[in-house]
Amino acid sequence: MFSLLRRLRRDERGQALVIGAVAMLVLAVTVMASVSIGHGVYEKIKLQDAADAQAYSLAVKEARAYNFLAYTNRAMVVHYSAMLTFMSYVSHALYLDMTIGKIASVAQYIPGIGAVFAAVRQVIKAWKAAVEGVARVLIPLLSLLNLALWLAQEAMMLGTLKDLMLTASADTLRGTDPRAKPGASMSKGAPLDVLRGKPSLNAANMKNFLHVIDDGPSSRAESFDLLDPTGLTKRAHLLNKNKNKLSDPDMAKYRLLMGNLVNGARREWTAVGKNLLLIGRKWSLGITVPYLPGIKINKVADSQVKSFDEDFEDNRRDQLYASDDIRIQFTLSYNPLFPNKGWKDILNVNFRAAADNQGGFHQTYGNRKTNDHHQWMGLTPFFTADTSFVDPWHNHFSYPCNVTVLSKDMIPQGAGSPKQPFHLENLRGGDGFMTDSRSGKLDDASTNVRGGFLDITWALAGGNGKRAENFREQTGGMMALSVGRAIYHRPGDWQEEPNFFNPLWTARLAPAKTHWEEQALRNVIPGLHTAQSDFADALNY
């Protein structure tokens, strides 16, 4: 018996089995942990991809809306320029009719060549009637088209606001992570919160999209006008004769800005005319002999959009103004040493045409006006940007940011709940493994080492404490955040001020830290404030 025990004690066979069993247990736990962590990382990557896609998608919609404003504003400028050009044709035709046409009406009775002058007179009459007729039709038509473009701008902005309010697009999320859902701050009654004016990421996204607009809310405003978020009613005053006053800065900024843009877009012939003797809009003719009487004729032209004060001629407002004027001067003795001295005006003839909201007018021979020629409602509303570089580094140069917060339910909610990714929940179940021997439950007193347990269930995601429990309740154990931004950038030049006249808006993903959503981020990121304070303390230290 003792010899058998001594033999068994010296026998080394079977030791590898014990070591192998322990190693297999460790290997099995390691493999299961790796698979569980791999699933968690994979699900997190998918969720983050969905958040990035959603934030970028919203930024693309914002940039697309701003570029639409730029294209339509440019179209308005082209239309105003076309109206102004036709008014130039009208004033020039009036000049031809009242000068060359009058001369031809007398010269047509000269034998031999009278038929030529008669034909010239008829051509001028026909040209004047043609440009008059086209201008009467074209100016109201282009004015209505500009009005339609403005309404299209308002529709685009309201449509983009709707997309921002209904933050999570099912199509976008379905294509990246079907299990993703809007975070608590974005989904819990988000549209209703926006309508009630309650703070939420949706309301913040909408406000930051609107604050770039000149009549939109301030970037630091707590809320915005829910009944008129884009400032439509303010811009609509441009159509109201009684409210469209140049003394009102809200009206002056639109009238003067668009007027200057249109005047800057004029072609040379429209602006000042080109040199073409007798029949051109700009020419000069002089007959001078040193120390003898001399005469010179100057023909000048001008066309521009004018904005008038409300007290000018019963609030005539804006005009499409064009003029072709002749000035005849005479001197008794032309001095070549002082060529500009001694000249006296003997005749000033003004051929002018204008379209405005009181029927327009033609003007010849001094101040005599003939009314009711060309009705024009004036400049129509349009969107303009307010870049307001106040603390630009902090306010991101007025570029709009949108925040997307998504969550994913990783914790089973009972029988019949969707199957969750593989995890090691059985390690803390049933038979007392990792439980308090007295209560059969996880030892609450061991919170300081709970994170070290080989328990990779999502029931403990985020750590311990009330904030972590709230985090798990709101997110289901996993959350992702992303920020998109619409930026204005001309390639090679970052110094151009953002505006709604050049379609240079593009979309980018941006750092999550922005100046306006700190409170919202604190609500969805546990420990954000503490981390910021610790970082600040470390820098100060």
Determine which helix (DSSP H) or strand (DSSP E) holds 474, and give its type and residue range.
helix 466-475
Q: How confident is the model at residue 141 (pLDDT cuts 50, 70, 90)?
A: very high
Query: What does the alpha-carbon distance between residue 36 and residue 28 come to, in Å, rounded to a whole number?
Result: 12
**Mean pLDDT in residue range 248-262:** 92
Is the per-residue pLDDT at 62 higher than 90? yes
Q: How confident is the model at residue 150 (pLDDT cuts 50, 70, 90)?
A: very high
Contacts of 132 (CB under 8 A, 6+ apart): 90, 93, 373
Contacts of 254 (CB under 8 A, 6+ apart): 235, 238, 379, 381, 382, 384
Determine which helix (DSSP H) or strand (DSSP E) holds 369, and give its type and residue range.
strand 369-371
Q: Name the one residue in this structure whose structure tokens are 């790796």.
A: 34
| Burial track 288-314 (b if 16+ CB lie within 10 A, e otherwise) | eeeeeebebeebebbbbbbbeebeeee
| Selected residue with higher pLDDT from 406 and 258 | 258
Is the per-residue pLDDT at 434 higher than 60? no
Q: Half-sphere exposure (CA, 13 Å, Cβ side) for 143?
A: 23
Out of 105-109, 411-415, 479-483, pick the least confident: 411-415
**Mean pLDDT in residue range 273-296:** 86
Is the per-residue pLDDT at 187 higher than 70? no
Contacts of 375 (CB under 8 A, 6+ apart): 139, 140, 355, 356, 357, 359, 360
pLDDT in tens, 338-375: 888 888 988 888 888 999 888 888 887 767 777 778 88
Determine which helix (DSSP H) or strand (DSSP E) holds 171, and give its type and residue range.
helix 170-176
Residue-level pLDDT at 52: 92
Q: How confident is the model at residue 539 (pLDDT cuts 50, 70, 90)?
A: very low
| Selected residue with higher pLDDT from 389 and 17 | 17
Strand order in the sheet with 294-307: 283-287, 294-307, 318-331, 344-355, 361-363, 369-371
pLDDT in tens, 453-502: 444 567 667 677 777 777 777 777 888 888 899 999 888 877 788 899 99
Residue 417, both tokens: 């709940």
Q: Supply the DSSP string of 106-167, one letter for each residue.
A: HHTTSTTTHHHHHHHHHHHHHHHHHHHHHHHHHHHHHHHHHHHHHHHHHHHHHHHHHHHHS-
Residue-level pLDDT at 142: 96
Q: Is 330 exposed, middle or buried (0-12, 13-18, 19+ CB in 10 A)?
A: middle
Mean pLDDT of the chain: 79
Residue-level pLDDT at 148: 97
Amino acid (1-letter code) at residue 375? Q
**Mean pLDDT in residue range 89-97:** 92
Residues written for the chain: 541
Q: How confident is the model at residue 31 (pLDDT cuts 50, 70, 90)?
A: confident
Out of 38-52, 437-451, 465-479, 498-512, pick the least confident: 437-451
Residue-level pLDDT at 121: 92
What is this structure's pTM?
0.82
Residue-level pLDDT at 433: 46
Q: With contact defined as beta carbons under 8 Å apart, do 75 and 149 qualify?
A: yes
Residue-level pLDDT at 143: 95
Residue 400, both tokens: 């709009």
| Selected residue with higher pLDDT from 15 and 107 | 107
Q: How confident is the model at residue 129 (pLDDT cuts 50, 70, 90)?
A: very high
Is the per-residue pLDDT at 438 higher than 60? no
pLDDT in tens, 211-234: 889 888 876 666 677 788 888 999
Residue 99, both tokens: 């000068």
Residue-level pLDDT at 265: 93
| Burial track 472-494 (b if 16+ CB lie within 10 A, e otherwise) | bebbbbbbbbbbbbbbbeeeeee
CA 343, chain centre distance (Å): 56
Residue-level pLDDT at 112: 79
Specify which of 67-71, 220-224, 414-418, 510-514 reaches the highest per-range mean pLDDT.
67-71
Q: How confident is the model at residue 260 (pLDDT cuts 50, 70, 90)?
A: very high
**Mean pLDDT in residue range 382-394:** 74
| Selected residue with higher pLDDT from 143 and 425 | 143
**Mean pLDDT in residue range 380-404:** 77
Residue 240, both tokens: 């109201």
Q: With contact defined as beta carbons under 8 Å apart, do 333 and 343 qualify?
A: no
Residue-level pLDDT at 333: 86
Q: How confident is the model at residue 530 (pLDDT cuts 50, 70, 90)?
A: low
Amino acid (1-letter code) at residue 285? L
Is the per-residue pLDDT at 101 higher than 60? yes
**Mean pLDDT in residue range 515-529:** 57
Contacts of 83 (CB under 8 A, 6+ apart): 138, 139, 142, 143, 320, 355, 376
Residue-level pLDDT at 535: 42
Residue-level pLDDT at 192: 56
DSSP letter assigned to residue 527: T
Strand ranges in 312-368 using DSSP code E only, listed in sequence order: 318-331, 344-355, 361-363
Q: How confident is the model at residue 110 (pLDDT cuts 50, 70, 90)?
A: confident
Residue-level pLDDT at 197: 54
